[in-house]
Structure 1
Amino acid sequence: MVGFFDYKLIIQYNMGAYDRFCQSCGMPMEKDPGFGGTNNDGTKTHKYCSLCFENGSFKDSFTVSDEMVDLVKGKLKEMGYSSLKRWFFTSHIHGLERWKA
């Protein structure tokens, strides 16, 4: 039986490697309407989604991952997701590349 604090292993098992997800908001990259953000030179980056990253910089001014978690939870609530699903889809955001620094 998996303990409560092993939730990161469960998420990684169910969702796969983190590199398939935006390293800022956690959205699956295959769901990104812009197919990736853009670098300064206009080339695509597959590290960040088009909703988070444009022209080589982040669209938001967030400094901590909790701000992103709140934003994503709010968007998921607007879309009708339950509180359990909102927690599940945002629980890995703290471990994404943007927020590790």
Structure 2
Amino acid sequence: MKNKRTSKFCQSCGMPMKKDPQQGGFNKNGTKSADYCSYCYVDGEFTFKGTTKEMQAFCKQKMIEQGSPKFLAWLFTRSIPRLSRWRMKPR
């Protein structure tokens, strides 16, 4: 049996995959996505349609709303442009 690679972090928002209640989003054919969380990826489609900078601002705000200090929210969202979803997209 082939061992499928699983990302430690969602390659769209950067959230640790172990924090995702569904342990990953779902592809159009119903299989589990190894790269994207269930908040970012549903039925083979990205739920967030904005730019990289908009995703950073969205995630930073969500982290602050959930009680993270502003500095930590800023620090953790800095890596979003380096995630695979955003590397080839306009920023």
TM range (shorter): 0.7 to 0.9
- Do the aligned partners of 2:48 and 2:55 also contact (CA within 8 Å) in 1? no
The percentage of aligned residue pairs carrying the same residue is 45
Q: 1:69 aligns with which of 32, 56, 63?
A: 56
- For the residues of structure 2 that align with 1:83 and 1:31, how far apart are their CA atoms? 20
Match of 1:25 in 2: 13
Q: Number of aligned pairs? A: 82
TM-score in terms of structure 1 length: 0.78
Conserved 8 A contact 1:25-1:52: yes
Task: Give the unaligned 5+ runs of structure 2.
Answer: 1-6
Aligned match of 1:100: 87
Q: Structure 1 or 2: larger helix share? A: 1
Residue 89 of structure 1: which of 76, 80, 88 is its match?
Answer: 76
Distance in 2, matches of 1:80 and 1:36, equals 23
Contact 1:29 1:46 in 2 (8 A): no
- What amino acid maps onto 1:80 in structure 2? G
TM-score, structure 2 normalization: 0.86
Superposition RMSD on alpha carbons, in Å? 0.8
Q: Segments of 4+ in structure 1 off by > 6 A?
A: none
Distance 1:49 1:29 in 2: 6
Post-superposition CA distance 1:51-82 (Å, at most 9, x none): 000111101212x2111101101101101211
Structure 2 CA distance for aligned equivalents of residues 61 and 92 of structure 1: 18
Residue 87 of structure 1: how far off its partner (Å): 1.3
- Larger Rg computed on CA atoms: 1
